[in-house]
Structure 1
């Protein structure tokens, strides 16, 4: 009889090789204790955290922690039901109003995770007679949403509005709705989408546009509303989807829109309808973190300064860093045989980053994915750069120049 787990033999062999090459499983790292937003205890050592997506450092917000404690004391620790049953409390509605007001939108839906926000909105919006046009580098949640929908799916080249335009014009389907999905910042590479150009294609072709601002919310734009705000085209974006688990430091997801039909989507969105709603303490902490983000624009400015400092340091020591400067900075290596020892050595020297291996990477080369925080100090960034230089030199991952001199 065939084992139910036979399909996993390939990944088991690959994982075994990764562990054998480095002595540890890079996908099962345990942060034993957060010391601060930027430092955690890993394997008993104080370790600089450069792989957490905690862009503004608000996971440790005292205001959010206090709000969570108060809400749990007043409302309990869970709702025990979905949003369309008993899972909507006044806290949920107030957060939706806050999110909608922040984006200057008519309405908002709050989901239990950012993954479910993409899964739910894409699958509910695109039906069997519609077309979904997805950036080739889209997040797994976007692809999974397309699979849950019954729409016809077309991929276009990453960050290429011209290719999108050509593919839409080739469609002989004047009566079919077309939904274009792009991301503000791509989570693997840190590439920023040219939303203004995508919006122009959307207007010319009569398509709808959904922008996933998961990694650009709180990061880009004068007020932190994301790539669409930064490009000045918010009015041309039909749906903005995002998550609370990055810049706000909690968990959950949202969609905002000016379309009045968003209220009907609530009754046709399975990931919204058939899962328990977020517990009161998470809702309260998220609302508090959103308020803090709005009141402290210096966090966003410091974040981008820190991103520029880390990126410049990587370039200076000869690493192949992302082309664009954003809080996600990927260091690309040529082979897996280089990446695994270097990732392990980084952790041993006190820096945690994310290891991404083919086929999950955009161009089939391994990545050391770094994420920067507003709360990183200049010294922590310089220390991380020096540790990267040492790890690269010791593992032969690059021909590194002299050590960085801190400025």
Structure 2
């Protein structure tokens, strides 16, 4: 750990307005327990600076569109020619607004009736559940669902009823015990790349008269025909009530989306607090997203390369003993377990030029911290092979054999072998 990391993470005392005691104690606890005790004075999120030849596996820009010249040009043209900027809440938009036009385009593409653009995927999920969560409604949340969905339940003052990850049978048991409510899942889960059994989940929800929300943040653009996502890809768009997404992944923008019926769109738009009390998107944001949609529709080759890259890397890491076979998506988790062990893993990878994203509490359970490797359609096989070489080289250094995830894999394999015997 470098001295610069230590100094940047040391607790700073205010030089002007003093902190009240309750705030000071709260902040001191963070610096004492996490920064000093767990992270040894550094910061788990801040390791080395990547060099020019580093292999970066940290971005959600899966189709490599963030700096596409056509997207940039669309934004530039909008900035130069726009005279209809509404720096106000989106509830004031009507008529021939570019944002409303894009909402209609997104809905048609996703084969949904209507859609509503939001400030972010976080705002979309929080605002949606806050708006539709009638008092006393149980909310059935997959245990690996995104934090924004859990926060939506909390902000609505509702009680979450977690069910086991990707387990439709456990979901059904929970609904039979607690009654109809809201079922909340991701289609592709952001930490491990696991894919939801959407058809079974939706079947359980509909048979028990529940509302279904599917977060497609990590599948919109990358999965399904023309990248329409898994809901449309499985022809479930008429069987779910809401599809949400962050457009900061494959769309490489700064917005969120809720797709639903027109009736529900009108309700959400005028009842969701983030929709009411945040400014609408700016014209150049809309222009960039609109051009990105055109590119995503025609990105079949990029999607094919993306999934081939992910499958190649996952297959070889699995062969090396890493517990990565629970996922299929473009995100691959190296789950070291504790935050201390995750720092060891981070440093081992980064010292060899491989940079992933650290996930720890509150993004994961406290003892399920991990490094996420995000695959891009333009990662070369040479780069992926180097990642595999590094992961082979560091197994003893990072104590792979004793990771909790490794022990779970061994236990699962033993159970499978016993069942087959």
Give TM-score, length-normalised by structure 1. 0.86
What is the match of residue 324 of structure 1?
A: 327
Q: Unpaired segments of 5 or more residues in structure 1?
A: 31-41, 400-407
- Are positions 1:314 and 2:317 aligned together? yes
Aligned CA distance change for structure 1 residues 359 and 108 (closer, same or farther; 3 Å): closer
Shift in CA distance, 241/141, structure 1 to aligned 2, threshold 3 Å: same
The equivalent of 1:304 in structure 2 is 307
1:190 and 2:193 matched: yes
SS of aligned partner of 1:235: coil
8 A Cα contact 1:131 1:152, kept in partner:
yes
1:128 aligned residue (132, 135, 149): 135
- 2:212 aligned counterpart, secondary structure: strand
State the shift of 1:117 in Å. Answer: 0.5
Residue 266 (structure 2) aligns with: 263
Which of 205, 210, 214 aligns to 1:211? It is 214
Matches within 5 A, 1:270-309: 270-309=273-312
- Paired with 1:390 and 1:183, the residues of 2 have a C-alpha distance of 34
Aligned match of 1:161:
168
Matches within 5 A, 1:364-403: 364-397=367-400
DSSP-derived class of the 1:381 partner: helix
Runs of 5+ unmatched residues, structure 2: 1-19, 403-421
Q: 1:97 to 1:259 in 2, by over 3 A?
A: closer
Assess, with a 3 A threshold, how the Cα gap between structure 1 residues 200 and 61 changes in structure 2: closer, same or farther.
same
Q: Which residue of 1 aligns with 2:352?
A: 349
- Give the stretch that moved more between structures: 358-367 or 266-275: 358-367
Per-residue deviation at 1:156? 1.6
- Structure with a larger share of its residues in helix: 2
Number of residue equivalences:
382
2:114 aligned residue: 107
* Farther off after superposition, 84-93 or 208-217: 84-93
Structure 1 position 352, deviation (Å): 1.4
Mark the CA change 1:254 to 1:317 in structure 2 (over 3 Å): closer, same or farther.
Answer: same
Deviates more, 1:389-398 or 1:329-338: 389-398
**CA separation of 1:330 and 1:78: change in aligned 2, threshold 3 A:** farther
Q: So what's the TM-score if we normalise by structure 2?
A: 0.84
- The Cα of 1:314 is off from its aligned counterpart by 1.1
Question: Structure 1 354/75 Cα, relative in aligned 2: closer, same or farther at 3 Å?
Answer: same
